Amino acid sequence: MADLRINLAGIEAPNPFWLASAPPTNTGYQVQRAFEAGWGGAVWKTLGDPIINTSSRFAAVHFNGQRVAGFNNIELITDRPLEVNLKEIYETKKKFPKHALVVSLMVEPKREKWHEIVKRVEAIGVDGLELNFGCPHGMAERGMGAASGQQPDLVEMQTMWVKEVAQTPVIVKLTPNITDITVVARHAVSGGADAISLINTINSLAGVDIHSWNTIPHVGGKGSHGGYCGPAVKPIALNMVAECARDMHVGVPISGIGGISNWQDAVEFMLMGAAGVQICTAAMHHGFRIVEEMIDGLNNYLDDKGISSVRDIVGKSVERYSNWGDLDLNYRVVARIDQETCINCNKCHIACEDTSHQCIDMLTNADGKQVLEVREEDCVGCNLCSIVCPVDGAIEMVELPGIQPPMTWNDRQRAIEKLNAASSEMEVV
């Protein structure tokens, strides 16, 4: 049994699976049920001045028979009075002293507002605070959430105000609705953030009903943009986590969020630098019990690899995430089709023929059997055929021995620069 405990900027938890600030962490009843089910921590549904929610709030994107590939919402922060939330947070922490209980906060960008809420929340005993600079709808129109999260100086200033009074670790939750996530991350760190968490939801419209012409979801015939999350956003979130993890000016622990549905996703985020993860959609889709399979899968994975603590995998892939300009231009892979495994759907052929480099031939072999074969000399190693192939192991991308020594674009530019000091180009990043 591997050690699954984590420590995120001083916040300890029995395992890395935390519930993200969202409907699953709305009440004490829910968070306590979650802890009983095995969740290692929870970030309480964002507190602030209670709001009024709309009826009809969520929508999902189903993909080819699989439900909830993506999830969309127009819900705001908590709609319950602060006193009620504080009482339940207190009770929950008392019952579960070993679990991480972090409280998410969002108030107007005013110093005294932040001071007041931080003091009130910390007075009841919590393990940390998360500043929600991410909610992309509703709150943004009031100058909060993503509206302040998109302005790096506002993030820095508000973080600073919080840090003036906060006794517990402060996590700044970032919005992905921005061009370069590291800019905001760096400002959060300058403001004194002990950790960052990302991503919050991405601006989205789940769909349009082609018969009624209403938006999905709609509130009495009208819709507005919502926030997108769930499995579909994972690659976006993973990139943003990785970008922050490899930025030395960020340099604080990361809580990874966005589309994590199982233990494998969690491992990916942790390899890319997350010290722990937060999950919302998967819990909303399946209930709290989903954490059981996550814990078991993670544990068996670590045991299998002979890794004694989950903390040992954090960041292990970060150094492999680099700039395009540092990739070896002489590295080559080609597709190879295993005739035994191939089921002859011809999808690779048509993908390559129509949309890539026309190098998969449809042939008939000596026995009169149809076979697909790659002309390796023409294959550029784009991976497309292996992506569209429906069968495990039928198409393998094979590494070719290097004919020339490794050379990156940046190496090349430097070489050219040396040769011709007069003409220089910018490094590609």
Ligand X SMILES: Cc1cc2nc3c(=O)[nH]c(=O)nc-3n(C[C@H](O)[C@H](O)[C@H](O)COP(=O)(O)O)c2cc1C
Quick one: which segment of 134-142, 164-172, 257-265, 420-428 binds another protein (CB under 8 A)?
257-265
Q: Which does 258 bind (CB under 5 to 8 A by kind): another protein, ligand X, none?
A: ligand X
CB of 313 to another protein, least distance (A): 16
Interface stretch with another protein, choices 32-40, 322-330, 389-397, 413-421 (CB under 8 A): 389-397
Q: Which amino acid is at 156?
A: E
226 binding ligand X? (CB under 6 A): no
Q: How crowded is residue 111: how many other Cβ atoms within 10 Å of its Cβ?
A: 14
**Closest distance to another protein from the beta carbon of 287 (Å):** 6
Classify 335 as helix, strand or coil.
strand
296 binds another protein (CB under 8 A): yes
Q: Pick one of another protein, ligand X, none as the site partner of residue 229 (Cβ within 5 to 8 A by kind).
A: ligand X
Residue 286 in the binding site for another protein (CB under 8 A): yes
Calpha distance 20→428 (Å, rounded): 36
Q: How far apart are CA 160 and CA 399, in angstroms?
A: 50
User: What does the block give as tokens for 99?
Assistant: 């679990």
Nearer to ligand X, 134 or 152 (CB): 134
If one asks whether residue 195 binds ligand X (CB under 6 A), the answer comes out as: no
Q: Which listed range, 30-38, 71-79, 95-103, 246-254, lies at the site for ligand X (CB under 6 A)?
A: 71-79
329 binding another protein? (CB under 8 A): no
Determine the angle formed by the axes of helices 111-123 and 152-165, rounding to 10 degrees: 40
Q: Which stretch binds ligand X (CB under 6 A): 242-250, 275-283, 286-294, 348-356?
A: 275-283
Dist CA 132 CA 43 (whole Å): 11
Instruction: Give the one residue of 18, 44, 133, 263 binding another protein; rule: CB under 8 A.
Output: 263
8 A C-beta contact, residue 200 and residue 173: yes
DSSP-based three-state secondary structure for 347:
helix
| Binding of ligand X by 41 (CB under 6 A) | no
Residue 362 touches which of another protein, ligand X, none (CB < 5 to 8 A by kind)? none
* Amino acid (one-letter) located at 248: M
Query: By CB under 8 A, is residue 287 in contact with another protein?
Result: yes
* 271-289 core/surface letters (b: 16 or more CB in 10 A; e: else): bbbbbbbbbbbbbbeeebe
CB of 349 vs ligand X, minimal distance in Å: 36
Query: Judged by CB under 8 A, does residue 391 bind another protein?
Result: yes
What is the nearest approach in angstroms of ligand X to the Cβ of residue 116?
A: 19
Q: Scanning residues 64 to 123, which ones bind another protein (CB under 8 A)?
A: 66
Give strand ranges (E) for 112-201.
Answer: 128-132, 170-173, 195-198
The residue from 34, 146, 181, 257 that contacts ligand X (CB under 6 A) is: 257
For 213: left if phi > 0, alpha if psi spans -120 to 50, otherwise beta; the answer is left
- Residue 66 forms beta bridges with which residues? 63
Concatenate the DSSP letters of all residues of 202-224 into one string: EEE--EE-TTT--EES-BTTB--
Residue 280 within binding range of ligand X, rule CB under 6 A: yes
- The answer to the question of residue 167 lying near another protein (CB under 8 A) is no
Catalytic residues: 135
| 132 near ligand X, judged by CB under 6 A | yes
First to last CA, the chain: 42
Please say whether the dihedral angle defined by the alpha carbons of residues 130, 131, 135 and 136, taken in this order, is positive or negative.
negative
Count of other CB atoms within 10 angstroms of residue 425: 10
Contact residues for ligand X, defined by CB under 6 A: 20-23, 45-46, 58, 71, 73, 75, 77, 104, 132, 134-135, 173, 200-201, 229-230, 233, 257-260, 279-282
Contact residues for another protein, defined by CB under 8 A: 66, 262-264, 286-287, 289-290, 292-293, 296-297, 300-301, 304, 390-392
